[in-house]
Amino acid sequence: MNAKEVMEIASFAGEILLSSGAEIFRVEDTITRICNSYGVECECFVMPTGFSTTVRNKNGEVYTTVKRIKNRSVDLHRVEMVNTFSRGLMEERASYKEAMDKLNSIKNMPYFSYRVQLVSAGFVALGFTKLFGGSFVDAFLAFLISMFIFYVKDFIQQYGFFQFLEFFISGLIVGLFSVIIGKLFANVSIDKVIIGAIMTLVPGVAITNGIKDALYGDFISSFARLIEATFIAIAIGLGVGVALILQISWV
């Protein structure tokens, strides 16, 4: 296998990892590991929104590729699968076609159905509402609201609006629904419902990865992830805050 084909395999693996929410050091390690398993020298530079990979073959020829990652999500199962794939190459090298077919199967592997994701979002809200001392009624209401905002957020994403707007509208919906329900039912704790319902929006993985990147010395990537997580939290807070301000104006 030539160096260019090795670079394509490594870059494809890095693309899957970065678009699935993997840490920067993990992406760099995987790209380097794949290249080394085929005896190819490699240098890579990874940022949260893209990466570049340069390889050199035995004749001194250099190949470079740049990948821009626009759509990012959190899929730890894909991260695990790519990790297993890269470590398997250290024991047994695969041909170019076998490696690309395997990576394509990982990229296109079926995710949880939309219905399962929707219900899971509701149960996350239900669990956190109870964890923070809410009643069963509060938890059930948070369950319903969380499923609805999951649907709305997914609907907004399809139209390509910027991320800040998605989370702002989601937070606004949580706040408005909680306020309206609180006015209709006196025994409902608005704050507990809000806390539970917004938990599916909280960027916990981004914060964790930002801290891990800092610990591994990738400070630029760490700051980028933490700033992104901060803006998401601000958007959610602004949405809820606007709803609470509207509640005061109604009173």
pLDDT of residue 250: 57
| Final residue of a structural domain among 58, 89, 107 | 107
Residue 92 sits in the same domain as residue 63? yes
pLDDT of residue 160: 65
pLDDT at residue 251 tops 70 = no
Least confident of 149-158, 165-174, 187-196, 235-244: 149-158
| DSSP H stretches of helix in 158-218 | 163-184, 190-197, 204-215
Residue 213 sits in the same domain as residue 243? yes
Mean pLDDT across the chain: 86
Residue 161, SS3 per DSSP: coil
pLDDT of residue 249: 58
Report residue 82's pLDDT band, with 50, 70 and 90 as the boundaries. Answer: very high
Residue 63 sits in the same domain as residue 79? yes
Residue 107 CB-density burial (10 A; 0-12 exposed, 13-18 middle, 19+ buried): middle
Q: How confident is the model over 128-147, as pLDDT tens digits?
A: 999 888 889 889 999 999 99
Nearest to 196 by CA among 243, 134, 238, 249: 134
pLDDT at residue 116 tops 90 = no
pLDDT at residue 152 tops 70 = yes
For residue 200, what is the DSSP state? Answer: G
Q: How confident is the model over 10-66, as pLDDT tens digits?
A: 999 999 999 888 888 889 999 999 998 888 888 888 888 889 999 987 777 788 889
Q: How confident is the model over 162-192, as pLDDT tens digits?
A: 778 888 988 899 889 888 888 888 788 888 9
Domain count, the chain: 2
| Final residue of a structural domain among 107, 123, 151 | 107
| Final residue of a structural domain among 58, 77, 107 | 107
CB atoms under 10 Å from CB of 232, counted, come to 21
Give the mean model confidence (pLDDT) for residues 113-133.
88
Residue 47 sits in the same domain as residue 165? no
Q: Quote the domain boundaries for residue 73.
A: 3-107
Residue 144 sits in the same domain as residue 51? no
Given a contact cutoff of 8 angstroms between Cβ atoms, the answer to whether 54 and 43 are in contact is yes
Residue 127 sits in the same domain as residue 242? yes
Q: How confident is the model over 191-221, as pLDDT tens digits?
A: 899 999 988 888 887 888 888 888 888 788 8
Work out the angle at residue 207's Cα, subtended by the Cα atoms of residues 203 and 213, and round it to the nearest 5 degrees.
Answer: 145
What is the distance between the terminal CA atoms of the chain, rounded to a whole angstrom? 72
pLDDT of residue 123: 92
pLDDT at residue 113 tops 80 = no
pTM: 0.75
- pLDDT > 70 in the chain, percent: 97
Residue 40 sits in the same domain as residue 149? no
Cite the beta strand spans of the chain per DSSP E.
41-47, 50-56, 62-68
